[in-house]
Amino acid sequence: MRLIRELCAERELAAIINIHDVALARQFADRIVGLRAGEIVFDGAPGELTAEILTTIYGEEDWDTQAAEEESPAAIPSRSSAEETPLTPCLAPDLATGGAR
């Protein structure tokens, strides 16, 4: 991530990165865009990303925010929604059942 940031700064480029590690995104991103069901639900600076917004994005009910580093607060779900919500296959029907073409 540091290398990407350095290269972008040197060459005056932008980088778009899909990452689900909130702490890492907060540490390196200048801007975070959060999606839920294909819709943008957050677009702002890392410091504006609250526990409430993380709940909207990821569907967790409780988020613990803590300082991993003074300049980089981390966000960790306090419990997994996977324990409460069964996964529904989103793949093509033949892939979801283990078939192959």
Tens-digit pLDDT profile for residues 10-25: 999 999 999 989 999 9
Residue 5 lies in a domain: no
Residue 2 lies in a domain: no
Judged against a pLDDT cut of 70, whether residue 63 lies above it is answered with no
Distance in angstroms (rounded) separating the CA atoms of residues 30 and 25: 9
Mean pLDDT of 66-84: 47
Question: Do 25 and 32 contact (CB within 8 A), yes or no?
Answer: yes
pLDDT number for residue 65: 58
Residue 10 lies in a domain: no
Residue 9 lies in a domain: no
Number of helices and strands in the chain (H, E): 4, 4
Judged against a pLDDT cut of 70, whether residue 81 lies above it is answered with no
- Name the E strands within the chain: 32-36, 39-44, 63-69, 72-77
Domain span holding position 65: 19-81
pLDDT number for residue 59: 85
Residue 53 lies in a domain: yes
Distance in angstroms (rounded) separating the CA atoms of residues 26 and 75: 9
Residue 11 lies in a domain: no
pLDDT number for residue 45: 96
Question: Whole-prediction pTM value?
Answer: 0.59
Q: How many domains are there within the chain?
A: 1
Residue 38 lies in a domain: yes
Judged against a pLDDT cut of 50, whether residue 69 lies above it is answered with no
Residue 39 lies in a domain: yes
